[in-house]
Amino acid sequence: MKVAILGGGGFLGRRVAERLAAAGTLGGDIAELPEAAIPAGTEVVFHLAAVVSGAAEADYDLGRRVNLRGTDAVIDACRRLVAGGGGAPRVVFTSSIASFSGGQAAMLDDGAKQVPANSYGTQKAAAELLLADATRRGFMDAVSLRLPTIIVRPGRPNKAASSFFSSIVREPLLGLAAELPVPDDFKVWVGSANSAVAWLIHAAAMDTAPMGLDRSLNLPGLSVTVGEIIGALEQVRQGASALVARRPDPVIAGIVGGWPAGFTAARAQALGFAPNEGLVELVRAFVADDLEATRRDRGMT
């Protein structure tokens, strides 16, 4: 099987590649745009490349260029592949819950309307529609996954507005201070790195016929408060939560505060997407799988 991973330098892209290689199912190229993005014979494309939420809000042109025109480039590459006699590849796209609004009181079902409250969410919602139409036209077989906020991300903080949800766990486990820009009772829809990789790989192999024209899915994450995340940290590493400092930031709070706090995700579960593990298991998995690598990446060993 020939697989292309766009955005393969990110932590999810690397994990998908490693998981596929370990399973013996990754036998072809991992290519990037422009020319070799989707070489002849490609069967699966993981479209993970994106400008994240805070960066897309700060730089409108950059967000549009990467998040929208980048998706256009994927569609054009798939069109060329099909026009050359190849089959329509499965395209697995990472969308986001940021394509919705509703805030802290929202628990959305699968029929909820996307009304983004930020440029990143708008770009993701638009990309979903473009990929669904390209599927209808026979250029690809797309599945768009609206990922929850993924925690705990290894490595260093990034420019995503949601980066602090990982930092309040990762930094204290490294013995470093972390800033919390929202109240402890702030609710967020989260998923683990392990669940995200499993969802991506399931989307690459699932039967898409039951999806019909609607090619987008809300995934079965966890609706938790920041206080519960900090509590899970403390349960795994006693005393670590003392390193979390409350520092209100109205700009960050304004971005993440518009995102829904939960989803029913019934459709995804009916299509075989497994529910996320619990918070304590999530933190323990980060300690087991990523903590030492993060130390090395940050020059702490």
For the chain, state the CA radius of gyration: 19
Strand-pair partners of 178: 244
- Six-digit token string for 74: 């994927």
Our answer to whether residue 60 is catalytic in this structure is no
CA dihedral 190, 194, 200, 203 (to 10 degrees): -90
Task: Give the DSSP H/E element, type plus range, for residue 231.
Answer: helix 226-236
Task: Give the DSSP H/E element, type plus range, for residue 270.
Answer: helix 266-270
Catalytic pick among 93, 120, 189, 263: 120
* 67/239 Cα distance (integer angstroms): 40
Count of other CB atoms within 10 angstroms of residue 85: 7
Q: Is 205 left (phi over 0), alpha (psi -120 to 50) or beta?
A: alpha
What letter would DSSP give residue 273?
Answer: P
DSSP 91-131: EEEEEEGGG---GGG-EE-TTPPP--SSHHHHHHHHHHHHH
Matching residue, tokens 């805030």? 103
- Six-digit token string for 96: 């986001």
HSE of 84 in the Cβ direction (CA atoms, 13 Å)? 13
For residue 132, give the nearest of 143, 123, 122, 124 by alpha carbon.
Answer: 143
Q: In angstroms, what CA-CA distances link 90 with 13, 42, 45, 112, 187?
A: 16, 9, 6, 25, 34
Q: Cis omega before residue 183 (within 30°)?
A: no
Residues serving a catalytic function are 120
